[in-house]
Amino acid sequence: MRQRQGSSGIRAWPRWAIIPLGLGLAMVAIVAGLLLEAATEAVLPEQVEPTPTMPTIAYSEGISDGCHDCHFSLTALEASAADASTASDYLIAAESIATTHGKLGCLACHGGDGEAADKDAGHVELIADMSSADPEKCIICHEDMPDEFPNDRLRLPHGTLIERTLSEEPCGVHCSDCHGGVGHGFDPVSGEKFCSMTVCLDCHEERDLEIQVADCNACHLGPHEEEMSLACIDCHRSTEVWQEVEASAHPVSLEGKHGERACFDCHQYPSFGGLSSECSDCHESIHTDWDDDDCSACHDPSGGWEFAASGWDGHADLWDQYKGQHTKVSCNGCHFDGYDLDPACTTCHKVPSSHDDGRGENDCTLCHQADQAWDVNAPEG
């Protein structure tokens, strides 16, 4: 049998051939798509998945002029205030709009209507203190405030306050309590204005806050190695002026000249360590024949360094032998540089010629008593 040919004489494909042809084209399309995707990813930058952001603060500098017209002018405030004597409490320095917070505009933190011609209309829904009424807005920019400022040696509860604010827990402290009116010309970070510790103490006492700043370590990072054994109030006596220092406790009595010295004359700032109560820590001995580091055996700081205590304080064992006229002799009368004293009488006294018979070669006290005149012999018997 002969195969059928078309009218044109060309042999026709069987219908079943369409199936493998279609599958082949589909595979080509899939492979091309995969190759094109890989090439596209290699050329285009990596796509970053967007992260959720906190709400933003409405920038309102351009619509706060009405606030400026009144609060920058004492005359305008006195004219509109219910009590003219309180007008100065609401006066704001005009240059405050140049600060970081001031550039946000009054309405950003206080709300109200800065374009209203009427005072009452401009103060509708006014927020006096945003850090108290809506503290989340402060955290929008200040969510990473540290708890410690080593350069200023301060420890602050920022982390606790931020955590409580975000979790909507009650908090007795607000940003404005410490930072004041940051948008009104006050910059707590610059250090141009100083807030004494008394302000903190009074505030915490009035509010009965759980953070007791009466403990200095609650707010201050001490620079001293000895802070574990010393409390800040042992030396720092004023919460108004922290630099005023007066040692109220000291491991060694600071009498005489020692009491007149400043702390840093002996203790190197800021460690306060490296010293003991030995005299040799500060004083270099001039006595080549004295090995004891305790200078107080002869020297009394209450009388000055040149003053020597009674020489008999260290000679109790020789009192019976050397009492009498010997007690009137100064220390230097027997002890002097380069001389090693022998307690024998002949160290200082020459044996007279009348004793050529050998008397006194060993011990003069066999005949003479130290509490009697030298020409008096010992009693017989």
DSSP string, 243-274: T-B--S--SS---GGGGGS-HHHHSPTTT--S
Q: Which long-range contacts (CB under 8 A, 24 or more apart) does 95-104 make?
A: 95/185, 96/183, 96/184, 96/185, 97/61, 97/68, 99/182, 99/183, 99/185, 99/187, 101/182, 101/183, 102/183, 102/184, 102/185, 103/61, 104/57, 104/59, 104/60, 104/61, 104/183
pLDDT reported for residue 74: 92
pLDDT reported for residue 2: 45
According to DSSP, the β-strands at 154-155 and 148-149 are: antiparallel
Q: What is the mean pLDDT of each run of 10 residues along the chain (381 residues)?
A: 48 68 77 72 61 63 86 90 88 86 87 87 89 87 87 84 87 81 71 67 76 69 68 74 68 76 75 72 73 71 64 64 72 65 74 75 74 68 46
In angstroms, the CA 320 to CA 358 distance is: 24
CA distances from 239 to 181, 208, 227, 263 (A): 23, 19, 18, 19
Q: CA geometry: angle at 120 spanning 118 and 122, to 5°?
A: 70
Q: Within a 13 Å sphere around the CA of 367, how many CA atoms are in the beta-carbon half? A: 12
What is the end-to-end Cα distance of the chain in Å, rounded? 175
In angstroms, the CA 67 to CA 114 distance is: 6
3-state secondary structure of 82: coil
- H/E stretch holding 131 reads helix 130-133
Other CB atoms within a 10 A radius of the CB of residue 214 amount to 13
Look up residue 220 and give its DSSP letter. Answer: B
In angstroms, the CA 353 to CA 203 distance is: 91
pLDDT reported for residue 75: 92
Buried/exposed 62-80: b ≥16 CB within 10 Å, e otherwise:
ebbebbbebbbbeeebeee
Q: Which residue has the tokens 């020459």?
A: 350
Please check whether residue 105 is in contact with residue 118, taking contact to mean a CB–CB distance below 8 angstroms: no
pLDDT reported for residue 263: 76
- Number of continuous H segments (helices) and E segments (strands) in the chain: 13, 2
Which tokens sit at 8?
């044109």
DSSP string, 285-350: ---TT---S-GGGTB-GGG-TT-B--GGGG-GGGHHHH-GGGGGS-HHHH--TT-----SGGGT-P
pLDDT reported for residue 52: 52
Can you give the pTM of this predicted structure? 0.49
Please check whether residue 104 is in contact with residue 57, taking contact to mean a CB–CB distance below 8 angstroms: yes
- H/E stretch holding 154 reads strand 154-155
Q: Within a 13 Å sphere around the CA of 175, how many CA atoms are in the beta-carbon half? A: 25
pLDDT reported for residue 314: 60
In angstroms, the CA 257 to CA 303 distance is: 8
Sequence length of the chain is: 381
